[in-house]
Structure 1
């Protein structure tokens, strides 16, 4: 691929709309997009690239979410960038500190100048004749056209503009304040107020201790069914540093720490999947030891599913469990009969009074950022496609996806995708190919799998919007970082891939 950028007036656009030409365009400046940018500029130094970001800041999820206590649900030693290791002692980080870390990263590696903010990609069409993508972009009331030989989607897996709308009977009757965590009002006052948080996932268990610490009058987590929650200890500034960290060179100790967290996470997942009954007892016993004495475990902390059938929730230094000792935090396991003007009536007959209802009901799944995708102006049906190495879609030439793990840090998967895609582009350049399109046989497409192997409500609700995974070869979903890393660096790029050489 060539390494120049040109800006010219393209008559085909009409009205003299300027067109911008790049070898690679990355859409989204979150963790996945920034990671892809680093891989592109290091593995493909002669290729031109840019990042188009819809919003006015980097960070994706971490600059979008503003609810109390917002933090990572994975350790930053594996969630962070391998080329710019997380150096702070705490492994679970706040959203604000993650955004700061990302700003440091894009500055340190000269990526910041490649980001174009307030550039919303609304449509993308692949032209077989021209062997390139045309992106229609809206920016500050104007329209621009971008062309790219290869596009990498760093848009995540959920809709940034529309949260999952759970059916809550009578919610329109509530006369207090209703809030979804995805759009938390910056001026919301809840000190001394009665709050009910509907949900039992990572967001709910983050908000509860945060609002209790900030002085909420009472906060009740209302759950239909409980989740597994595990405390993870946090090192703080000033805490003793292990001897091995003091003796070894910093760069080496950071690599060891990343490996340590990686292996511990993998072992925990395998333990839960292989010995679910033992894991269930272990997690329940740990929760009981951290809760106030005589706190009722059943049904509030006894999930009906096996550990890791849904994502395991982590809380730093047991803050979720400890907040119940204040007397202002409560958990209720029940279903909603209806919402009334001043609270929630439950099926059991109990009523929860509320000034504020927080609907922590999940995310709306969305692949490729809701962009209108076409190939030779024919619409692309994402739900009917299959994922090649969890990084490209059948029928879509020269377009990569940055999809992470559901059983480990998301960024581990997006980094494997970036490594694989840059390797694919180098392979195309070396062999004179102008396009690479994943192509699956009828036999390989039989008995498809969900690429997000979780039983969480938001995954079930969105299953009809996402592509399939297969059960063999390059169509299998990601499941093991080390295996997938080997595939990203050494797998046969021709398996399941159709290449073309077209003169343009």
Structure 2
């Protein structure tokens, strides 16, 4: 990131240490007034014609941290990965990582290299597949092709691979489950209880599929430096955790990789002409704008593929939209949804952290630009090749309370 900033001399355009609190759009002036906290006791305002949120959908101040009975009795240290202490020393310590998601499968092998032992305690398993840390196709092609060509070829190959796995999982879930199990079994010790610790109760890609870099989690299990335990927590003890099965896990450090909390647009409070906007009542237009919110766009990527694939297309389409405003002398663009349209959750994804925040996120419809697609090919046709104009878009000029069609 630092190199990208330096290459394009972006530092003068970045306000470090600034936190956006709220933003109000004035239809009369066609301007956003943005309140920004610089210090705990100092708030400034900025204005802009257009507001673009690249804040994603996670809360950076609060994580999902369920309470465990007896956790105040634990004599060791309890850590949530989102607020990792820089001075945490786990060398030679007994560590229990609670969770089975991407964070847990990344932390366990990394900590197992120096900890006395690491246990991944999961209530239920997740799908996990090894992924090479090195793109060997790119390495091989670079010996015979220019870098630009290698980039294009490997990018398309990776997109196709991700898409193939997704389509296979959705169309033939039983086959995908068997293939993933076979890979897991081959990487785990002989006689390992694969169906206990790596056999989720849901179909592949109903929730995220965890990528295990270079298979390091499986390697740590084979080496005996990491263990997976599938059980429920009864309570925390002074020196560990008591499970409902009666087993006790000894621990000096407990890492609660229990999930994230979703929060649209970093918690920025949006309003229009002084009237608060309930983001959960809006509809997503082309997966990048909100119904009833003028001159606003956001970047949220895919849940089943590379995040940046979607962001590239959103930014391209936004630039075309801004050009359309300039060319025709408009100040305002606003998506207007059909009030009778059917609403569905924005993210068609069954993960717990998504379900917990479904009401706070924008909704999607069932057809046209109001659908939120999770396929690169569909967004390629819509955002890069498709027109900017749409019957649902209203363009207007400052001074007009209601944007003209």
TM-score when normalising by structure 1: 0.76
Aligned to 1:191: 91
Aligned to 1:133: 32
Aligned to 2:359: 464
Cα deviation code 1:28-77 (max 9, x no counterpart) = xxxxxxxxxxxxxxxxxxxxxxxxxxxxxxxxxxxxxxxxxxxxxxxxxx
CA contact (8 A) 1:474 1:495 kept: no
Residue 280 (structure 2) aligned to one of 383, 389, 393: 383
Aligned to 1:279: 176
Offset, 1:304: 0.6
Aligned to 2:77: 177
Q: How does 1:256-295 map to 2 (within 5 A)?
A: 256-295=153-192
CA contact (8 A) 2:112 2:226 kept: yes
Matched, 1:120 2:19: yes
Separation in 2, partners of 1:132, 1:258? 39
Aligned to 1:225: 124
Offset, 1:240: 9.9
Q: How does 1:16-95 map to 2 (within 5 A)?
A: none
Cα deviation code 1:155-182 (max 9, x no counterpart) = 0110011111224233222221000000
Aligned to 1:441: 338
Matched, 1:454 2:353: no
Cα deviation code 1:123-165 (max 9, x no counterpart) = 1110111111001112134332111000100101100111112
Matched, 1:162 2:62: yes
Greater RCO (CA < 8 Å, at least 6 residues apart): 2
Residue 318 (structure 1) aligned to one of 190, 215, 222: 215
CA contact (8 A) 1:451 1:478 kept: no
Separation in 2, partners of 1:313, 1:453? 18
Offset, 1:449: 2.0
Separation in 2, partners of 1:486, 1:112? 34
Offset, 1:480: 1.1
Matched, 1:485 2:376: no
Cα deviation code 1:101-142 (max 9, x no counterpart) = x11112212323211111111111101111110011121343
CA contact (8 A) 2:138 2:150 kept: no
Counterparts in 2 of 1:236 and 1:172: CA distance versus 1, 3 Å: same
Q: Secondary structure at the match of 2:236?
A: strand
Aligned to 2:256: 359
Residue 102 (structure 2) aligned to one of 193, 196, 202: 202
Aligned to 2:403: none
Segments of 5+ residues of structure 2 without an aligned counterpart are 401-405
CA contact (8 A) 2:129 2:211 kept: yes
Aligned to 2:150: 253
Q: Secondary structure at the match of 1:463?
A: coil
Aligned to 2:133: 234
When structure 1 is superposed on structure 2, of 127-136 and 417-426 the one drifting more is: 417-426
TM-score when normalising by structure 2: 0.94
Separation in 2, partners of 1:116, 1:241? 38
Separation in 2, partners of 1:470, 1:172? 46
Separation in 2, partners of 1:118, 1:193? 35
Residue 245 (structure 2) aligned to one of 334, 348, 354: 348
Offset, 1:236: 8.1
Q: Secondary structure at the match of 1:277?
A: helix
Offset, 1:200: 0.1
Runs of at least 4 residues off by over 4 Å: none
Give the number of aligned pairs: 398
Q: How well do the aligned residues superpose, as a CA RMSD in angstroms?
A: 1.7
Offset, 1:422: 1.4
Aligned to 1:55: none
Offset, 1:492: 4.7
Q: Secondary structure at the match of 1:107?
A: helix
Matched, 1:429 2:329: no
Offset, 1:217: 1.0
Separation in 2, partners of 1:191, 1:434? 59
CA contact (8 A) 2:53 2:299 kept: yes
Q: Secondary structure at the match of 1:137?
A: strand
Aligned to 1:103: 2
Aligned to 2:294: 397
CA contact (8 A) 1:406 1:453 kept: no
CA contact (8 A) 2:23 2:33 kept: yes
CA contact (8 A) 1:195 1:218 kept: yes
Offset, 1:311: 0.7
Cα deviation code 1:363-395 (max 9, x no counterpart) = 110111111211111111011111001101112
Separation in 1, partners of 2:30, 2:163? 41
Matched, 1:371 2:268: yes
